[in-house]
């Protein structure tokens, strides 16, 4: 990348603390949080778009996931999800209504890994052919039923499974 990626630090109520730090190696103190976003992208048949992480990722290489990433410094959660979908899967959702269906927080004082995650849901008219993967992020993608996600989770190769289940529960 060359350019250092910066993130803003928030408090538990999502207020900006005034701190901006490099993402690489960032450790959160007590009451400090990073913001992340995830997208459940469904086609008109209700299938969910999942991508396979590239094999050179230092964490969860080759695992399957839904699209998402970190909120950059100066960005809102909403701006981040639009940017991530354009960058990682080449889908332009700038003109779509943003439906945030779930938010959760992770607190890990030992690891300094405190974060808040917003999960959005999109229902789009698209096919796998419309997806343009970001080479360094993902090596494959597919549209799958929830059962298929469940099977990947049972094999231990699907990220954020429990949280996606919780998010989808809110929609039933």
For residue 141, give every residue at least 6 positions away whose Cβ sits within 8 Å of its Cβ, in sequence order, or none. 49, 50, 51, 52, 89, 128, 131, 133
The three-point CA angle 61-99-93 to 5° equals: 70
Task: Read off the pTM.
Answer: 0.92
Going by their DSSP bridges, the two strands 48-53 and 115-123 should be labelled as unpaired
Extract the residue ranges of the chain whose pLDDT is less than 50. 1
Question: Encoding tokens for residue 61?
Answer: 């290489």
Q: Which CATH superfamily is domain 6-126+133-163 in?
A: Nucleoside Triphosphate Pyrophosphohydrolase (3.90.79.10)
Contact 49, 66 (CB under 8 A): yes
- Residue 138 bridge partners (DSSP): 53
The three-point CA angle 91-93-99 to 5° equals: 125
The three-point CA angle 28-38-57 to 5° equals: 70
Instruction: Give CA–CA dist 167/32, Å, rounded.
Output: 24
Q: What is the pLDDT of residue 135?
A: 84
Question: Encoding tokens for residue 2?
Answer: 């060359």
Q: What is the pLDDT of residue 2?
A: 52
Q: What is the pLDDT of residue 109?
A: 86
- Residue 64 bridge partners (DSSP): 52, 158
Instruction: Give CA–CA dist 25/27, Å, rounded.
Output: 6
- Taking the CB of residue 22, how many other CB atoms lie within 10 A of it? 11
């Amino acid at each position: 990348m060359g350019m250092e990626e910066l993130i803003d630090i928030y408090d538990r109520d999502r207020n900006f603390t005034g701190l901006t730090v490099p993402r690489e190696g960032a450790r959160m103190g007590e009451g400090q949080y990073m913001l992340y976003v995830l997208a459940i992208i469904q086609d008109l048949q209700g299938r969910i778009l999942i991508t396979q992480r590239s094999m050179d990722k230092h964490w969860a290489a080759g695992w399957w996931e839904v699209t998402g990433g970190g909120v950059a410094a100066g960005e809102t959660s909403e701006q981040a999800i639009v940017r991530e979908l354009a960058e990682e899967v080449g889908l332009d959702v700038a003109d779509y209504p943003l439906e945030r269906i779930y938010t959760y927080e992770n607190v890990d004082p030992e690891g300094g890994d405190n974060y808040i995650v917003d999960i959005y849901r999109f229902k789009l008219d698209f096919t796998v052919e419309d997806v343009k993967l970001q080479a360094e992020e993902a090596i494959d993608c597919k549209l799958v039923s929830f059962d298929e996600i469940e099977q990947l989770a049972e094999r231990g190769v699907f990220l954020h499974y429990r949280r996606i289940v919780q998010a989808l529960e809110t929609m039933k």
